[in-house]
Structure 1
Amino acid sequence: MTGTEDRRSARRQWWLRLSLSLVIAAGFCFALFRKIQLIPADPWVPAWVLPSYLATLIAYFVFRAGRWHYLVAPLGEVELRTTLPVSMAGTMWIMVLPLRLGEFARPLFLAQKTEIGVGQALGTVAIERVVDGLFVCALFFVALPMLPEVHGEQAVAVERLRSLGLLASGGLFGVLAVLVAMALSPGTVGRLVKATLGRLIPPLAEKLEALARGVAEGLAALPSIGPLLKFLLGTVAYWASNAVGTWLLARGCGLDISFPAALAMMSVLGISLLIPGGPAQFGIFHYGMILGLSMFVSEAVVHDQGSVFIFWMFVTQLSMGLVLGIIAQRMLALDWRATLTGSRAAQPRPDPS
């Protein structure tokens, strides 16, 4: 297949994914219409609320982006001044692109600025996603005993989410086991992929094998205990700032909930966002928030104060992610077209001295 045909195929796949994601988003929009006000009739909140929440968002994005450095550093010569903006830009594309396709942005951007392969970096992204998933599941179960006693619809919602949390935890532990196996035997993984998927899709056999081997090698190069602890501390700081911000914004929007309740609500949202959705995570984000709120307040409160809370959380997180991501992308002169074509779109270049 020629380069022109590759680009045409990539464009066709992109438009197909975009069309599918728009259909998903439209379905969510229709389903959400009666549950919340997507644009509240009275969205205004006290003057202190948004500045306070935006301050927690800055910490949220910095810790989220910065911790990735400690997973990437063992893969090659790379500095924090490169990985931080690369991660910021990648986070923006995760938030914007549908079906979680933005997860490929960081590995592609990193390949533009360093000699680290896309497959290797994808291994670190996989570990990060699994750790985040297990972390929010753990937070949910830690918060449950601290919640006030609920009855009726709220009790049913709590039990339903408890079951979903157990299901998500089991699935994530299964994925973690697969990743550990890949890290222990990179060569075997490459041969296994070639012998299975490679036979089903012969033209992609070599690419699939190389990608699987690269991911496995990236996992095998996981950092020693010191850097790994720094990554975990960054993860704790990232979710802590998120929890504080969630609690502050909820209180500012007129929702009388405790900090443990905000922690549980944030955890439900985090678990929900593991599911691929439409552009800007529209719909998945809103339903995650509705599920979290349903543990503590009635449907009427969700439709009133809850709509204001969800509106501001969605708008501010998306806006902040876009602003920081665009700044980071321009700082490193990253070729954003790589996120759409799935290629490096530029030859790797060493970090500026």
Structure 2
Amino acid sequence: MKRAVKLIASVLVTVLFLWWAFRDTDWDTQLASLKSANYLWLIPYFVCLTCIHVARTLRWGCLLSGLERVPFRKLNEASGIGFMMLLVLPFRLGEFARPFLIAQRSSIRRSAAMTSVVLERIVDGLFVAASMRVLLFFVPNETAEVRYVKLGSWLMFAVFGGGLVFLLFGLWQQARTVRLVRSTVGRFAPALADKVADIVDTFVGAMRQLPDGRQVALFFLYTVVYWGVNGFGMMILANAFDCSSAATGAACQPMSLTLFQAYVVLCVLVVGVMIPAAPGMMGTFQAACKVGLSLFLPAAVVNAGGLAYANVLWFAQTAQQILFGLVLMSLGHMSFRDIAGKLDKEGEAAAPTA
């Protein structure tokens, strides 16, 4: 029953954001933008997406190296299939996929692998929030959209910065942190407090097995490469919608992005897809792209070529992750149903502490 309610809620969020994103759409002009787009630009964009996948996989391996040096083939399998599961499974069950899969391919415990995933998320959140704050200094217009985006960056700082401070405090004072959880959460739900305290204790214990300085430096280098290529690829794909010289130029609204604008849109997009929605991030993805593009482009362009670009961007990223996951799953002779079923049991076990 709880899952049905969550699924209905996530679908409603998707429908709401889709309505908001497309409520002012000029469908004829958007269709003209899609028809006149030069889809050859998808080739270099898919190259960028492949580089992003490799960078994400290698940097995860850097975090795990304090526990075990996992060969790239096994690391790539767990990463590619895990990111596909994160995209297509409801209720954020895909969050458990990479720890589950890497535990099958190494001696690393799932709890320790999950700690690495949490650290990845915290670093990404802080990196994007900091980048957004810096980039917004160079956006000249203080519009309502800019103010909302700034608010989003502060919220990211609060959420991920708070998580980092909590983990660092736990690393410094592990026993005291566990007692703090029991004394606060235990006032309202003693059974839940025991579960949360055990999880915190396990997470902090796993953090004590962080990699050496070289691997940490490589982790941050791959993080910069990952986000750098991400924004660069978004700029590349935008060239597909520069239909100014196309035969349908009168109907199509041409658009393009500078590298600076692409990075701002990327940061806004990351904030937007943090909102829980249906599998695949549909709705929140397009709405966040619209907000980011509206910081630089006229409404007529955003509601036509801009949303056409957002849809192609979403489709390309989704197709790439699913394709990589299915290929790696096939090569590993694995069943989607079997993995999803085991992850579902993981989710049920973790539900009381979520």
Using the TM superposition, give the Cα deviation of residue 278 of structure 1 relative to its aligned residue in structure 2, in angstroms.
2.0
Q: What is the root-mean-square deviation in Å for CA atoms of aligned residues?
A: 2.8
Using the TM superposition, give the Cα deviation of residue 289 of structure 1 relative to its aligned residue in structure 2, in angstroms.
0.6
**CA separation of 1:145 and 1:218: change in aligned 2, threshold 3 A:** same
Amino acid at match of 2:115: G
TM-score (norm: length of structure 1): 0.83
Farther off after superposition, 291-300 or 168-177: 168-177
Using the TM superposition, give the Cα deviation of residue 169 of structure 1 relative to its aligned residue in structure 2, in angstroms.
1.9
**CA separation of 1:272 and 1:109: change in aligned 2, threshold 3 A:** same
Q: How do residues 86-97 of structure 1 correspond to structure 2 at under 5 angstroms?
A: 86-97=78-89
Farther off after superposition, 41-50 or 336-345: 336-345
2:286 is matched with 286
Q: How do residues 1-353 of structure 1 correspond to structure 2 at under 5 angstroms?
A: 13-36=2-25, 40-42=30-32, 43-44=34-35, 45-76=37-68, 78-147=70-139, 149-150=140-141, 155-194=143-182, 196-197=184-185, 200-201=188-189, 207-254=195-242, 255-333=255-333, 335-337=338-340, 338-342=342-346
**CA separation of 1:251 and 1:155: change in aligned 2, threshold 3 A:** farther
User: Do 2:235 and 2:256's aligned partners in 1 also have CA atoms closer than 8 Å?
Assistant: no
Partners of 1:100 and 1:35 in 2: how far apart?
31
**CA separation of 1:210 and 1:81: change in aligned 2, threshold 3 A:** farther
Amino acid at match of 2:284: I
Partners of 2:286 and 2:26 in 1: how far apart?
11
Report percent identity of matched pairs.
28
User: Do 1:118 and 1:214's aligned partners in 2 also have CA atoms closer than 8 Å?
Assistant: no
Partners of 2:50 and 2:348 in 1: how far apart?
29
Farther off after superposition, 190-199 or 154-163: 190-199
**CA separation of 1:13 and 1:34: change in aligned 2, threshold 3 A:** same
Partners of 1:330 and 1:73 in 2: how far apart?
27
User: Do 1:137 and 1:168's aligned partners in 2 also have CA atoms closer than 8 Å?
Assistant: yes
User: Do 1:38 and 1:307's aligned partners in 2 also have CA atoms closer than 8 Å?
Assistant: no
**CA separation of 1:190 and 1:331: change in aligned 2, threshold 3 A:** farther
TM-score (norm: length of structure 2): 0.83
Gaps of 5+ in 2: 243-254, 350-354
Amino acid at match of 2:209: A
User: Do 1:185 and 1:216's aligned partners in 2 also have CA atoms closer than 8 Å?
Assistant: no
Farther off after superposition, 220-229 or 136-145: 136-145
Partners of 1:256 and 1:81 in 2: how far apart?
38
SS in 2 for 1:231: helix
User: Do 1:14 and 1:340's aligned partners in 2 also have CA atoms closer than 8 Å?
Assistant: no
SS in 2 for 1:78: coil
Amino acid at match of 2:326: I
Amino acid at match of 1:297: L
Partners of 2:176 and 2:117 in 1: how far apart?
21
Using the TM superposition, give the Cα deviation of residue 226 of structure 1 relative to its aligned residue in structure 2, in angstroms.
0.9
Tell me how many residue pairs correspond in the alignment. 330
User: Do 1:130 and 1:175's aligned partners in 2 also have CA atoms closer than 8 Å?
Assistant: yes
Farther off after superposition, 15-24 or 274-283: 15-24
Gaps of 5+ in 1: 1-11, 346-353
Using the TM superposition, give the Cα deviation of residue 82 of structure 1 relative to its aligned residue in structure 2, in angstroms.
1.8
1:7 is matched with none
Amino acid at match of 2:14: A
**CA separation of 1:80 and 1:204: change in aligned 2, threshold 3 A:** farther
